[in-house]
């Protein structure tokens, strides 16, 4: 292929042969691997946003862009100018370590999110080197031969080679929401985009049929690429949680300014060295403003996404990870999510009685029984006709390969084909004598499907669909060897038969046919009803316990199905979704006029657990009702029509195996195994992640507050500094980072799914947490000052000695390390809880302890930090005092657990009530 990106081709005006010649590809062979590599290089990947990845140098530079870091650098320079080289080197070392940690964290978050995006990328079917394979859509190149079917997204701009009953939704490009038909014939050169019937454009999707086409442009060269070039600048959105963390940081700034001023002024008034005091104020600023919180939160969220992916739930955006944790209502479809979607025809209900079919699943040797008598061959003409319609009116296929059965298509249609084989009917043979002339695809709003078959110059129309739809369209019914008019009372009788089958848990379809002269005759008029067919679709085994667990976790599970009310009720009862076998089932049509609903009706719908005969619009209204009632709604879906509901729900859940690409693209979460249980695990993970973020935020903030208070209290008492500026920096940059990261990796506490969902409006730091923050901050700083005073008495020279300051520094450092155990949930045990069982926490404590010993005993570091060895009695003071906050913290947690007060004692509640 010789064209370059600026080539002005109009592939729609050329014949297929010309287009293929121009694209330099053979339709049957596709491109060779070398050619693909070459073209990838020439045209770039098939991606709209030309990898606007942030370069690592930009990420690195970002680490040093903060005002406080700048201040610190100035302080380092000042120290250097004043001749204090050790201090200057130490400050720059701290700056470097701080930058390195921030850089590594951010790069890890970025690469983690990027590789997640790769596994959720849409795939597409292509023909290359003569064979069909599936490749990531991003790897397509011009000239690739692509094969698409209903529900697939169009992955690039394509020229159609061979369409088959193809219809395409182009609303994303043209705004026109009615699907359009397509051809392969060449068109005039100047037809506008919306009328180019032999082209398929990226961003649109196939609603019906299938197509083979050749790629003419990819990525930014596509029409969508031209449009979206202007949108490319759109900033990466922050998740609500990241925003909240940013705000939290902002809120602390005024508080910090006040404290820093007090410290600075009081120190200066007492004649302390001004440079030392300024340096202390800068160190405190670094300590207090939690600039790193949002990025650590990102890392925790990304880690959560990976853990969810391990459990088969692919979450497509970080914000959903958070939302998942507060899900209150799960609206789930039935077929395939609650049931196995492995259907078997169990019985035919015909005018002359019930015919049972034996053999389950894909077994092809079953028998037909009537009144407990085995029928040798279902010779009965009505049975034959019913089987025939089931075999003709289908998109599925069943092939036998050396006694292996291979199937494709809707499992219900497969079941009808298998029933046909049991009765000696083979679809291909049947089609030889009556070839298919037209198909009217299944439409969920009509709930029927029809095919036209040519026979002796006329056409047989085979129809199947929901019983009420088919019975309503039928004017006659097949009885023993005859055709009789269908009266209203007959209709009622047939509907009742269908209801009875559904109440038994069968999925029911009605079968009908008619003879017409032309394929233009509408399909659903004057039908002759043949009978009903009932399918068994067993509930998934694991669903029952999972629904129970969801309910224990305070989430409501609501069944929203397109199926019959009876079937829905039966399955809902058998999977434990409702207690009673005759629970009220709401039919979708009751939701048809959402504006006119009374309050009583609204309440009834919001509290209902089973919805049947629901169409995609009803799903949207149901989401609205629940959301207005304050719920966070997860909704499952798989079809093209479900996409709007998936977008609208707080968490749209698409099925990875059964779902169409359109549904998957609209969804926030894709279940790789189509398993309802994966939603539960994802919610659990979502809750754990939020709690972990809360843990490390509370932990880091209380550590930082303790440093601030220690300095403030000392200043107010007229003491010298119990912590030197470099020591403060050291604590923040080196020691308390590790336990904080480790907290982000805790498993959820045992009872995390025994509690109701979190209110999504609930802030990360509730009033209770602010109260705890104050208490912990005070406890740790008080122990530090206590240790300082004791040390002051121990050494000749008092508080000013290097020993005393070393002791207060170490007391604070270790108190912070032990404090990690105060982060356990109130409901967890003292010894065995999610913090003590987290090996990362122990690793972090080990590492930080080693570093602290190094800070005292390694000459270079102790010189910079102005520490000194303190002897056994010194260490006794350090450990004694540093364990105090842990002891008090644990007592407080135990008190709250015993007396079941999840909040603080009343006096503290009062004190914190003015906080946000």
To ligand ATP, the closest distance from the beta carbon of 34 in angstroms equals 43
What is the dihedral angle through the alpha carbons of 333, 339, 343, 347, rounded to the nearest 10 degrees?
Answer: -90
Q: Are 368 and 378 in contact (CB under 8 A)?
A: yes
Q: Which is nearer to ligand ATP, 158 or 450 (CB)?
A: 450
Binding segment for ligand ATP among 156-164, 176-184, 443-451, 518-526 (CB under 6 A)?
443-451
Binding segment for ligand ATP among 21-29, 319-327, 346-354, 555-563 (CB under 6 A)?
555-563
Q: Which is nearer to ligand ATP, 309 or 416 (CB)?
A: 416
Binding-site size, ligand ATP (CB under 6 A): 17
Q: Is 333 a catalytic residue?
A: yes
Q: Which is nearer to ligand ATP, 20 or 509 (CB)?
A: 509
Q: Which is nearer to ligand ATP, 317 or 332 (CB)?
A: 332
To ligand ATP, the closest distance from the beta carbon of 330 in angstroms equals 14
Q: How far apart are CA 490 and CA 911, in angstroms?
A: 75
CB atoms within 10 A of CB 660: 25
To ligand ATP, the closest distance from the beta carbon of 547 in angstroms equals 15
Q: Which of 106, 333, 347, 621 binds ligand ATP (CB under 6 A)?
A: 333
- Shortest Cβ contact with ligand ATP: which residue? 562
CB atoms within 10 A of CB 133: 12
Alpha carbon 568 to chain centroid, angstroms: 27
CA distances from 334 to 130, 536, 575, 581, 701 (A): 40, 13, 11, 17, 46
Q: Which of residues 589-628 bind ligand ATP (CB under 6 A)?
A: none
Binding segment for ligand ATP among 48-56, 64-72, 310-318, 332-340 (CB under 6 A)?
332-340
Q: Which is nearer to ligand ATP, 621 or 892 (CB)?
A: 621
Q: Are 392 and 437 in contact (CB under 8 A)?
A: no
CB atoms within 10 A of CB 693: 24
Q: Is the dihedral of CA 491, 588, 209, 507 positive or negative?
A: negative
Binding segment for ligand ATP among 333-341, 695-703, 854-862, 882-890 (CB under 6 A)?
333-341
Binding of ligand ATP at residue 334 (CB under 6 A)?
yes
Q: How far apart are CA 674 and CA 658, in angstroms?
A: 7
To ligand ATP, the closest distance from the beta carbon of 563 in angstroms equals 3
To ligand ATP, the closest distance from the beta carbon of 338 in angstroms equals 8
Q: Which is nearer to ligand ATP, 99 or 444 (CB)?
A: 444
Q: Which is nearer to ligand ATP, 563 or 834 (CB)?
A: 563
Q: Which is nearer to ligand ATP, 143 or 588 (CB)?
A: 588
Q: Which is nearer to ligand ATP, 320 or 567 (CB)?
A: 567
Q: How far apart are CA 152 and CA 640, in angstroms?
A: 9
CB atoms within 10 A of CB 212: 18
Q: Are 470 and 529 in contact (CB under 8 A)?
A: yes
Binding segment for ligand ATP among 274-282, 289-297, 444-452, 757-765 (CB under 6 A)?
444-452
3-state secondary structure 415-468: HHHHHHHHCCCCHHHHHHHCCEEEEEEEECCCCEEEEEEEECCEEEEEEEECHH
Binding of ligand ATP at residue 561 (CB under 6 A)?
yes
Binding of ligand ATP at residue 335 (CB under 6 A)?
yes
Q: Which is nearer to ligand ATP, 333 or 834 (CB)?
A: 333
3-state secondary structure 402-417: CCEEEEECCHHHHHHH
CB atoms within 10 A of CB 751: 11
CA atoms within 13 A on the CB side of 777: 22
To ligand ATP, the closest distance from the beta carbon of 740 in angstroms equals 45
Q: Which of 442, 840, 842, 875 binds ligand ATP (CB under 6 A)?
A: 442
To ligand ATP, the closest distance from the beta carbon of 646 in angstroms equals 13
Binding of ligand ATP at residue 774 (CB under 6 A)?
no
Binding segment for ligand ATP among 201-209, 304-312, 344-352, 441-449 (CB under 6 A)?
441-449
Q: Which of 444, 554, 576, 760 binds ligand ATP (CB under 6 A)?
A: 444
357: β partners: 368
Stretch 460-489: interaction string toward ligand ATP, x if CB under 6 A: ----xxx-----------------------
To ligand ATP, the closest distance from the beta carbon of 6 in angstroms equals 47
CB atoms within 10 A of CB 863: 12
Residue 650 gets which letter from DSSP? S
Binding segment for ligand ATP among 281-289, 558-566, 763-771, 822-830 (CB under 6 A)?
558-566
Q: Which is nearer to ligand ATP, 464 or 648 (CB)?
A: 464
Stretch 399-428: interaction string toward ligand ATP, x if CB under 6 A: -----------x--x---------------
Binding of ligand ATP at residue 648 (CB under 6 A)?
no
Q: Which of 449, 775, 779, 855 binds ligand ATP (CB under 6 A)?
A: 449
* CA-angle at 51, arms to 49 and 55, nearest 5°: 140
Q: How far apart are CA 511 and CA 527, in angstroms?
A: 10
Active site residue: 144, 152, 157, 333, which one? 333
Helices (H) and strands (E) in the chain, counts: 31, 28
Binding segment for ligand ATP among 494-502, 557-565, 644-652, 731-739 (CB under 6 A)?
557-565
Q: Which of 197, 563, 621, 674 binds ligand ATP (CB under 6 A)?
A: 563
Task: Say if residue 136 is exposed, middle or buried (CB neighbours under 10 Å; 0-12, 13-18, 19+).
Answer: middle
Per DSSP, the three-state class of 292 is coil
Q: How far apart are CA 209 and CA 206, in angstroms?
A: 7
Q: Which of 447, 478, 681, 684 binds ligand ATP (CB under 6 A)?
A: 447
Alpha helices (runs of H) in 235-292, residue ranges in sequence order: 240-269, 274-288
CB atoms within 10 A of CB 832: 11
Q: Which of residues 497-536 bind ligand ATP (CB under 6 A)?
A: 509
Binding segment for ligand ATP among 143-151, 485-493, 560-568, 846-854 (CB under 6 A)?
560-568
Q: Which is nearer to ligand ATP, 305 or 560 (CB)?
A: 560
To ligand ATP, the closest distance from the beta carbon of 410 in angstroms equals 5
Q: At what angle do helices 871-898 and 802-818 cross, to 10 degrees?
A: 30
Phi first, then psi, for residue 268 (nearest 5°) are: -65, -45
Q: Which is nearer to ligand ATP, 260 or 533 (CB)?
A: 533
To ligand ATP, the closest distance from the beta carbon of 612 in angstroms equals 9
Q: Are 653 and 635 in contact (CB under 8 A)?
A: yes
To ligand ATP, the closest distance from the beta carbon of 342 in angstroms equals 14
Element housing 315 (H / E): strand 313-315
3-state secondary structure 682-735: HHHHHHHHHHHHHHHHHHHHHHHHHHHHHHHHHHHHCCCCCCCHHHHHHHHHHH
Binding of ligand ATP at residue 557 (CB under 6 A)?
no
Q: Which of residues 169-208 bind ligand ATP (CB under 6 A)?
A: none
To ligand ATP, the closest distance from the beta carbon of 316 in angstroms equals 22
Per DSSP, the three-state class of 211 is strand
Binding of ligand ATP at residue 151 (CB under 6 A)?
no
To ligand ATP, the closest distance from the beta carbon of 833 in angstroms equals 41
508: β partners: 534
Q: At what angle do helices 293-310 and 85-119 cross, to 10 degrees?
A: 30
**Residues involved in catalysis:** 333
User: Site residues (CB under 6 A) for ligand ATP?
Assistant: 333-335, 410, 413, 442, 444, 447-449, 464-466, 509, 561-563
């Amino acid at each position: 292929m010789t064209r370059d990106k600026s080539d002005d081709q109009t592939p729609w005006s050329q014949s297929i042969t010309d287009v293929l010649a121009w694209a330099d590809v053979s339709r049957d062979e596709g491109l060779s691997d070398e050619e693909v590599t070459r073209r990838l290089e020439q045209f770039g990947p098939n991606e709209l946003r030309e990898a606007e990845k942030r370069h690592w140098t930009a990420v690195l530079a970002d680490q040093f862009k903060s005002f406080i870091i700048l201040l610190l650098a100035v302080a380092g320079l000042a120290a250097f100018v004043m001749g204090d080289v050790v201090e200057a080197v130490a400050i720059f070392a701290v700056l470097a370590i701080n930058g390195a940690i921030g850089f590594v964290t951010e790069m890890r978050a970025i690469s983690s999110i990027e590789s997640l995006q790769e596994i959720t990328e849409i795939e597409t079917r292509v023909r290359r080197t003569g064979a069909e394979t599936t490749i990531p859509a991003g790897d397509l190149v011009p000239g690739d031969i692509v094969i698409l079917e209903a529900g697939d997204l169009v992955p690039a701009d394509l020229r159609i080679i061979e369409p088959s009953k193809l219809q395409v939704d182009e609303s994303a490009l043209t705004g026109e929401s009615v699907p359009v038909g397509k051809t392969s014939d060449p068109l005039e050169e100047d037809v506008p985009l919306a009328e180019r019937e032999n082209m398929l454009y990226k961003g649109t999707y196939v609603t019906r049929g299938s197509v083979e086409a050749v790629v003419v442009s990819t990525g930014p060269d596509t029409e969508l690429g031209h449009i979206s070039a202007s949108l490319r600048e759109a900033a990466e959105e922050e998740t609500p949680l990241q925003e909240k963390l940013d705000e939290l940081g902002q809120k602390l700034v005024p508080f910090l300014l006040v404290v820093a001023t007090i410290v600075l002024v009081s120190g200066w008034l007492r004649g302390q060295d001004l440079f030392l005091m300024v340096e202390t104020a800068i160190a405190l600023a670094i300590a207090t403003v939690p600039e790193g919180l949002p990025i650590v939160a990102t890392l925790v969220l990304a880690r959560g996404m990976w853990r969810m992916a391990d459990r088969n739930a692919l979450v497509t955006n970080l914000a959903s990870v958070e939302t998942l944790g507060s899900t209150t209502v799960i609206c789930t479809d039935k077929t395939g999510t609650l049931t196995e979607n492995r259907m078997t025809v169990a019985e035919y209900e015909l005018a002359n009685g019930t015919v049972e079919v034996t053999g389950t699943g894909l077994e092809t040797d079953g028998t037909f029984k009537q009144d407990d008598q085995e029928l040798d061959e279902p010779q009965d003409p009505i049975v034959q006709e019913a089987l025939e319609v089931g075999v003709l009116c289908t998109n599925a296929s069943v092939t036998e390969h050396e006694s292996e059965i291979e199937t494709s298509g809707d499992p219900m249609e497969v079941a009808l084909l298998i029933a046909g084989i049991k009765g000696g009917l083979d679809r291909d043979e049947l089609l030889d004598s009556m070839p298919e002339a037209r198909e009217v695809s299944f439409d969920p709003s009509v709930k029927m499907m029809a095919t036209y078959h040519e026979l002796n110059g006329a056409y047989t129309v085979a129809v199947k669909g929901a019983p009420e739809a088919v019975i309503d369209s039928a004017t006659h019914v097949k009885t023993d060897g005859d055709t009789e008019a269908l009266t209203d009372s007959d209709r009622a009788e047939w509907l009742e038969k269908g209801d009875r089958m559904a109440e038994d848990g069968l999925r029911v379809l009605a079968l009908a046919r008619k003879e017409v002269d032309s394929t233009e005759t509408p399909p659903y008029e004057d039908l002759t009803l043949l009978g009903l067919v009932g399918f068994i679709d067993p509930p998934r085994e694991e669903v029952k316990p999972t629904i129970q667990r969801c309910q224990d976790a305070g989430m409501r599970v609501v069944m929203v199905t397109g199926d019959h009310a009876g079937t829905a009720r039966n399955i809902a009862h058998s999977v434990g979704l409702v207690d009673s076998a005759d629970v009220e089932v709401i039919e979708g049509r009751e939701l048809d006029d959402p504006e006119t609903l009374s309050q009583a009706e609204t309440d009834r719908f919001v509290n209902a657990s089973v919805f049947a005969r629901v169409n995609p619009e009803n799903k949207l209204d149901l989401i609205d009702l629940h959301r207005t009632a304050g719920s966070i709604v997860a909704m499952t879906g798989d079809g093209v029509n479900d996409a709007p509901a998936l977008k609208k729900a707080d968490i749209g859940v698409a099925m990875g195996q059964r779902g169409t690409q359109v549904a998957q693209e609209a969804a926030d979460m894709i279940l790789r195994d189509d398993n309802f249980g994966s939603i539960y695990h994802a919610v659990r993970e979502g809750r754990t992640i939020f709690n972990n973020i809360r843990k490390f935020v509370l932990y880091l903030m209380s550590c930082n507050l303790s440093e601030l208070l220690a300095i403030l209290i000392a200043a107010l008492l007229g003491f010298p500094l119990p912590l030197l500026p470099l020591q403060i920096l050291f604590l923040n940059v080196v020691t308390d980072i590790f336990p904080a990261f480790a907290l982000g990796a805790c498993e959820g506490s045992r009872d995390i799914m025994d509690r109701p969902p979190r209110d999504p409006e609930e802030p990360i730091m509730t009033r209770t947490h602010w109260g705890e923050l104050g208490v912990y901050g005070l406890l740790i700083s008080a122990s530090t000052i206590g240790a300082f005073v004791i040390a002051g008495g121990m050494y000749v020279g008092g508080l000013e000695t290097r020993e005393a300051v070393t002791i207060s520094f170490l007391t604070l450092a270790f108190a912070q390390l032990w404090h990690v155990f105060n982060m356990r949930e109130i409901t967890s045990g003292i010894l065995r809880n999610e913090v003590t069982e987290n090996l990362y926490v122990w690793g972090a404590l080990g590492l930080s302890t080693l570093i602290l010993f190094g800070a005292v005993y390694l000459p270079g570091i102790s010189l910079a930090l102005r520490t000194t060895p303190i002897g056994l009695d010194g260490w006794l003071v350090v450990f004694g005092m540093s364990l105090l906050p842990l002891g008090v913290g644990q007592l407080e947690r135990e008190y709250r657990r015993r007396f079941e007060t999840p909040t603080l004692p009343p006096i503290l509640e009062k004190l914190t009530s003015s906080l946000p």
